[in-house]
């Protein structure tokens, strides 16, 4: 949904990035060198959280702040980014499942 929101409201086209480290993996959005990560807090103690819930900036700054390398070296995720189709095509949303139908219906 963040991908859809950024594109729809700010004309910011992003790609979903995937970084794997051992048994862990993490997804976030990227637009050039800028990353958008609403879930970065799961990796660090509360005292290191930035004021906003979502990190927007470059990977190097975040990695230095968190003292871990979980963002650089990520690759484009093969996961389908289809929120636009879910939000604009009721039949597609219905076929995708109940959650997506409810999402479509909520916004229409």
Helix intervals (H) in the chain: 2-10, 59-66, 83-88, 90-96, 98-107
pLDDT digits (tens, 9 = 90+) for 50-93: 998 899 999 999 999 988 888 999 999 988 889 999 999 999 99
pLDDT digits (tens, 9 = 90+) for 31-40: 999 999 999 9
Alpha carbons 55 and 30: distance in angstroms, whole number: 11
pLDDT of 106 higher than 90: yes
Alpha carbons 74 and 19: distance in angstroms, whole number: 4
Residue extents of the structural domains in the chain: 2-77, 80-108
Alpha carbons 6 and 52: distance in angstroms, whole number: 17
Looking at residue 43, what is its pLDDT?
Answer: 85
Contact between residue 35 and residue 62 where contact means Cβ atoms under 8 Å apart: yes
Looking at residue 33, what is its pLDDT?
Answer: 93
């Amino acid at each position: 949904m963040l991908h859809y929101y950024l594109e729809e409201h700010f004309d910011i086209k992003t790609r979903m990035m995937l970084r794997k480290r051992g048994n862990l993996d993490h997804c976030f959005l990227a637009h050039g060198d800028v990353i958008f990560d609403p879930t970065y807090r799961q990796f660090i103690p509360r005292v290191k959280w930035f004021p906003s819930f979502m990190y927007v900036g470059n990977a190097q700054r975040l990695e230095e702040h968190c003292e871990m390398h979980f963002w650089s070296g990520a690759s484009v995720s093969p996961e389908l980014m289809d929120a636009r189709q879910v939000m604009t095509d009721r039949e597609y949303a219905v076929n995708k499942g109940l959650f997506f139908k409810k999402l479509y219906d909520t916004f229409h």
